[in-house]
Amino acid sequence: MPDWLDVVVRSFTFLIVLFLVTKWLGKKQLSELSFFEYVSGITIGSIAAEVAMGLERNIFNGILGIVIFAAAPFVAGLVSLKSKKVRDFIEGKGTVFIKDGKVMEDNLKKEKYTTDELLELLRKKDVFQAADVEFAILEPTGDLSVLLKKENQPLTAKDLNLAVAPIKEPQNVIMDGEILDEPLSTIGQSRKWLNTELDKLGVSIENVFLGQVDSYGQLTVDLFDDKLQVPSPQEKPLLLATLKKCQADLELFALETKAKEAKHMYTKNGGKLQGAIDKVTPLLRN
């Protein structure tokens, strides 16, 4: 067998082996959460490259080495699932760099991080002032996780005591002009319904690049033709506006009528509608 053919055979063999090994180890190996996985990942790659090009080496020894280096993190992962102690030993523990807003200089020294490197890690987290940080921990992967002081955290609806409409994940029902049936049945709708919604927007299915349905059954689309303007869903705001109009009408009737009983009925129902409006406003606001 000529040398070049040998290289071709070896390369394809190791491509397949590497593919199977990465499938076997799964996503955890890719995320390289522990130092162990990081090192074994590099070693597996090196062995494959070495044996694919080094023609004097035995293919099966190479595969054996790869399998062992893949099996070790796999077994370590299984064991660390069971025991916290093993987990701490294999995957390592984080080191606290900032606690109660104060930098822990001793811990920095222990991990051999300079002040500049700490500031660099903080800047990667969009923190330019160390005083803004309440707590920061160096993860075993080398990432810095930062908890900002409460006043520096982004404002949330919870902070404002604001009622917001709950949402679920949107479903992609149209991709590249093709209807996807599975997401459509997940939200319990049919192709017929989708076609009606598209007609309402005034677009044809071939022109739709991406179509998504939110958790309130509203369809939003992106078109291939970017010059066309697509109206945003108006159903919910329209419903809220009509509800408010009816409530105002009822109050007006209550003021206008001379019949005592009718006045009472209008006032009562006006109050009922006001309560209903308060309840659904967060849901119907876009």
Partner 1 sequence: MTVGSQVKQCLSSLKSIEAGLSSLALRTQDIEAKRNLHETMLVTHEVVLDLEKRVGELEQEELQYKGF
Q: Which is nearer to partner 1, 132 or 214 (CB)?
A: 214
Q: How far is the CB of 257 from partner 1 (least distance, A)?
A: 8
Task: Read off the DSSP letter of residue 154.
Answer: P
Q: Which is nearer to partner 1, 115 or 242 (CB)?
A: 242
103 sits in which H/E element: strand 102-103
Residues that bind partner 1 (CB under 8 A): 165-168, 187, 189, 215-217, 235-236, 239, 242-243, 245-246, 249-250, 253, 256-257, 262, 265-266, 268-269, 272-273, 275-276, 279-280, 283
Q: Which is nearer to partner 1, 114 or 232 (CB)?
A: 232
The DSSP bridge partners found for residue 219 are 213
Q: CA Rg, the chain, in Å?
A: 31
What are φ and ψ of residue 190, in 5° steps? Answer: -115, 170
Distances (CA, A) of 14 to 11, 31, 48, 243, 256: 5, 22, 6, 67, 87
Structure tokens at 120: 């660099």
Structure tokens at 267: 């006032």
Q: Which is nearer to partner 1, 6 or 278 (CB)?
A: 278
Q: Which is nearer to partner 1, 37 or 197 (CB)?
A: 197
Cβ atoms of 253 and 223 within 8 Å: the answer is no
At 67, which amino acid appears?
V
